[in-house]
A and B are shown apart, each in its own frame.
Chain A
Amino acid sequence: MKQDVRSGWCVVEIRGRADAETADELEQMLRAAVEQHAKVAADFGGVDYISSAGLRAVLQAARAAQEHNAEFVVCQLRGSVKKVFEVSGMHHVLRIQGDPPC
């Protein structure tokens, strides 16, 4: 995972698998970002697999963003990863968009 600040947004680039083995690391990374920045984008362009454990990490980060009044955006969902977000109704509770906001 890589973190980059551009145009006021902290963009967290996530790569590889977001599964039960890696979910804790993902949650920590995203939580740290929303605690330190007012605008955070989780860029899933490099993620080729996600399970419910990965979704839970994203949800927990969204809750932390709410607590810290931070904007939190999920972007660049692809293929089956996008399908998992949709089937789980994540679009009801997360701001999801195609391209990164900056």
Chain B
Amino acid sequence: MWHNQAILGTAEITLDGNLQELGRLAEEVAWFCEENALDTDVEFDLNLVMEELFTNAVRHGGCEGVKEAARVRLELRDDCVEAEFADRGREFDPSTAAAPNVNAPLAERPAGGMGLHLVRRTVSDLAYRRAEGWNRVTMRRPI
């Protein structure tokens, strides 16, 4: 299997603005975790966070149909995986999105809004900056 760019401890994945890329993203994250002997919980969480940010950029950020619309970078540190998700969509800071009411009854639950809540609950040190037309979100997943 060919990987975008990967050396032990680091993975870089470029994604077109198409949700069919999710399968390839999952394979690349799985490969990174396997190569670095990270357990399945870490793989799950990295997948979850990257899917939520990518899906948001495609569905709401204007990345749908854009070639090389997003980039994922994973880097193994001593006590965590440092991750960056970058996209060329509209300026959007996921750390400031309103938190959903997770205690709301079924009738009052909005259809969306849970994805970024999951992101914030899954990783630490979530930080955002806009640089040269890219949204860049950095985070850590302790290991």
Contact = CB atoms under 8 A, between A and B. Distances in A.
Asked whether A and B interact, the reply is yes
Interface of A: 17, 19-21, 48-49, 51-53, 55-56, 59-60, 62-63, 66, 79-80, 84, 87-89, 92-93
A62 B26 contact: no
Q: What is the predominant secondary structure among interface residues of chain B facing chain A?
A: helix
Interface of B: 19-20, 22-23, 26, 40-41, 44-45, 47-48, 51-52, 55, 102-106, 109, 111-112, 114-115, 117-118, 121-122
A56 B105 contact: no
Contacts, number: 74
A61 to B, nearest CB: 11
Contact of A21 (B20, B40, B52): B20
Contact of A51 (B48, B102, B106, B121): B48
Label chain A's interface by main secondary structure: helix
Contacts of A56: 111-112, 114
Contact of A20 (B22, B104, B106): B22
A59 B115 CA distance: 14
A76 to B, nearest CB: 17
